[in-house]
Structure 1
Amino acid sequence: MSVWSQVVGQPEAVAELRAAAEHAAHVRFSSDGEGEEGARGGAMTHAWLFTGPPGSGRSVAARAFAAALQCPRQGCDACQVCRTVAAGTHADVHEVATEGLSLGVKEMRGMIERAARMPTTARWQIILIEDADRMTEQASNAVLKAVEEPNERTVFLLCAPSEHPDDVSVTIRSRCRPLRLRTPVMSAIAEVLAERDGIDAETASWAASVCGGHIGRARRLARDDDARNRREAVLAVPRSLRSAAEVFAAADGLVGAAEAEVTALTGERDEAEREELAVSMGAGGSGKGVAQAQRAAKAAEKDLEKQQRLRATRTRRDALDRALVDLAGYYRDVLVRGFGAEVTATHPDRAREVESAARDDSRESALRRLEAILACREALETNVKPQIAVEAMVTALRAG
């Protein structure tokens, strides 16, 4: 076993990262005296850009690479170094992610300051940015300066869906070595679910076949009854749009399911954070300085409430987007079946329904419905209220 076993269905990428980690182990720095100087050139470089579709394992691959760079045995997955990197507690591996809608310059400045320091316990100071596509323009400019003139012991690992300028600025991309991941094949996903997660072979095979190549989604579908029920409810929408009343009921159901997921995922956490903040700010105290402490507490409460609202908004969007992707997959299968193309279905367990829909409706109708779903996704990204965007979409789905 090694850290590379966590990177599913990416043999070419793993081979490239292994070679870089082996090269990095022999790099000599300016303070080491004789030997190969610097971390640039050859198989190793100071900035990497991991790209790939959702579920391809961008951050998993980046984290495995970070462990291999720090581990004396290039990623044995058994030593203290590998375990602390995997747990996110290694002193010289710093991860940046966001639960909100964007990564601002304020969040990045702390990481940039760390990037300028020497590592404390390991050979490298590693900065892993999971959501590089969510950086604001100011945050991107700040990161660019750090990537342009890095400390010789600093390595930047950026993760984004693609190399498109909408995801990563051209200037940052030009200074990074690209590593492109692909959608894992179904057999690789099923194998990892069965062997690593202990899921029975039949369930693992089914989850792998309907997850759209997203390993995390496959794991949730295999383990979580609620995730399976939400998928069933979404895929029931095309058959439940016979009247105007059913159209609005379907819209309410999609938005309501997203709200329920927000409550389930963030409700208890929000309350715990508020209680923790109150205790840390001396709630219930008395005596000198209480008034000043209360003013500071109110400011901290407002900041926490803002963070929680942003987190809830992103959770809601992600939940709705998963539903829309499932719906798009359904109509994609209908369109493909209408053309008689021999390609893998997105929802193979809905083959009979898809066959019936392809027989009853035209290919043009399926295409228009796909376009309505894509328009809804774009509307949600531009802050259109979910209820309005979803109602417009299901109305278009009924019209065909």
Structure 2
Amino acid sequence: MTDFKKKDFFGKTTAGMYTVEFQKRGLPNAHILLWLDGECKLKNVADIDKVISAELPNANLYSKLEKVVSSYMIHGPCGPARYNSPCMKEGYPSHKRLDNGRFVEKNGIKLDNRSVVPYNPPLLMRYQAHVNTEYCNKTNSIKYFFKYVSKGPDKATLKINNNSAESDKSIIIDEIKRYYDCRYLSPCEAAWRIFAFDIHHRWPPVQRLTFHLPGQQSALFKDDDDINVVFNRYENANTMFLAWFEANKIYTEGKELTYSKFPSKFVCIKTIDGKFYETYQEACYALGLLADDKEYIDAIKEASEFASAYQLRRLFVTLLSMNTISKPDVVWNSTWRLLCLQIADAELQKICLLEIKEMLMSNGRYLKDYPSLLQLDISDLNTFQNRFIVDELQYNKEDMAKEHDIFFKELNDEQV
């Protein structure tokens, strides 16, 4: 998805989503949907031909592309050449292709442009795999693709028999057959889930903006809640929709924004008591909407009584990865000496941060995701990844200064 966001395969994309599914004995495959920006939408046949091809390329001009298309993008043989092909059961859409005499041979059968699966040449050359590319402009096509990105996992119905009971006639076998509805997990999918890779992804994130009539906002309560308590809880409570009206009364800039544009463009909500905060999290912290991080500082200090410095660093990384810490820099400044073996040294602090950076990367996160923490530059990485340099830097300057003064006094005049 990073390639679709940053690289110009189809033009500027505004949204996308994908779902990964697994064949019974094959590798995972992804079904991806992309929404193009208005200026980059494919408006006619010529625009589609620029990004999608369903023909064999000229081997003399594009030899590498022709080899990749022949290896990954040929469908079949099927039809009269192979009636038992899996695609003969459900059928595939027919595409119009040129009859230019080009063909490839598969299993002794010549296959021309009619057997080429539509593809995007740059995308196919980059990934060197089967990448079927289609253009959607009809509702039924979109529903067809959404079926793949929203359908559930594969399942199987099993019947369990007790074979050992057949040899023992004294055991009464229940005549009712027991069936269990079970999920089917292939080895590839099992490994995929063990390593916690994404199965489904969509961007950009969508925030549902609620709206309601006056006095008809939703109220959540349990069956056994007291009605007076529920009424007092929601009597003066603001909903997102009501808060938007109140903000329009206070801020004149907000009157120029619609309800949907307000959260993303109205930066005044980052200004608290005349002070501008860089992130919404810092603004919420200043408003007191977020709890302080004292409990996490106390947890690290308590763990330091029995845990090693390495274990404390793992605890700190876990707290960062779970997004439970409101201000990582506050927790770091309060506990970094415990994380760094309680040696107050600026260079050692960078060494500890380097190890935390590596731990974060193993969890799919990066140190730059927490801008309030001290960021390491390239020179620090090159220095502290060298074990010999690290060993030479681990010394106490005050002790060495005292030792220098003692030895210097023992020198004679000639040595001085």
Question: Could you tell me the TM-score, scaled by structure 2's length?
Answer: 0.24
Give TM-score, length-normalised by structure 1.
0.25
Q: Which has the larger radius of gyration?
A: 2
Higher strand share: 2
